[in-house]
Amino acid sequence: MRSLAMLNEASADEFVAELSPLFEGAPGLVARLAAERPFETADDLWAAARALARSMPEEDQIELLNAHPPIGGDPTTMSDASRSEQGYDGDGNGGEDGEAWVNDELAALNEAYEGRFGFRFVVFVGGRPRSAILPLLERAVAADRDEELRRGLDDAILIAADRAGRLGGAEPMPEALREAIALEVSRYMVGETDAEGLVRAARHLVAQGLESPALLSLSLADPEAARVAAPISRLLEELGLSGWDHGQAGQLLGLHAAASILGEVSRPIDGARRIVAATGHGRLRELVARWEASSDERPALDVLITREARDLFEGRA
């Protein structure tokens, strides 16, 4: 996919052709989006898409929703993107969620939903199995029409943004967001938190307004079903940290703990304990042991710990 700068410079027809697959077509929305250019950031593009989707005539809103295939529909009629998102493999098989009853239930619920509202049920799957969509669809059938229309439109934009990110068309993630997410993933990788804690942290970041399709996918993952590995991998790709390993995670947490000591956010001993747990830092391990063994030495040891933290932060340790 072309960069945002190239999309800004492209003709309207080229812009529409490039972005239409992200929306499964939906020319009414994509043509309006082309007229809104230029966009400074990817976030600006998706914010404009969301605003347009909510404000355009209902006929075009329904066109956007109905462009998407039904959840659990015939995979041979889907685009490659939809087939992958719904968990079908290259042969159109449903993998672990391919039991006939799941798709039968989805088909019945989809029919009831469309019969009631007059448009298709669209949801950002976010790596969830189709069986996990059943309770969402059951609740949606009983929801208010205006609320469902707005939710479905918002999810259609999330789907498009996620596809753009996976195609490499998204702008670099803001540094503050990258750091916040990398810290949470690193805490999980070194054992400071478990899968449930990581998913909870992802939900908290999403609730704060941090927009990232991969982060949203992680926030929707089911830690009990050990479904965090794939969302974490996608998230690290989005962060530009593919191949991030335990050692790198420990180094990041160590630097963060050192900064907390230097900024007087945490006590020297508390920061030192985190650094030792994350990196095994030998000198700090020794100082922590001395601090715990002798209350008389602690003020002097706090000074030494802070000095070691400064060296670590400045790359001298």
**What pLDDT, in 10s, does the model give residues 202-259?**
888 877 766 677 788 888 877 765 678 888 888 888 777 888 888 999 999 999 999 9
Per-domain boundaries in the chain: 1-171, 175-239, 246-313
Angle, helix 42-55 to helix 145-166, in steps of 10 degrees: 150
Q: What pLDDT, on the 0 to 100 scale, is given for residue 172?
A: 56
Q: What pLDDT, on the 0 to 100 scale, is given for residue 92?
A: 47
Phi-psi region of 95 (alpha: psi -120 to 50; beta: other; left: phi over 0): left
Which of 13, 46, 52 has the alpha carbon at shortest distance from 32? 52
Q: Which fold has domain 1-171?
A: UraD-like (1.10.3330)
75: its two tokens: 């995979």
Q: Please tell me the pTM assigned to this model.
A: 0.62
Q: What pLDDT, on the 0 to 100 scale, is given for residue 176?
A: 72
Q: Taking the CA atoms of the chain, what radius of gyration do you get in angstroms?
A: 24
Percent of the chain whose predicted confidence (pLDDT) is above 70: 92
Longest dimension (CA), the chain: 76
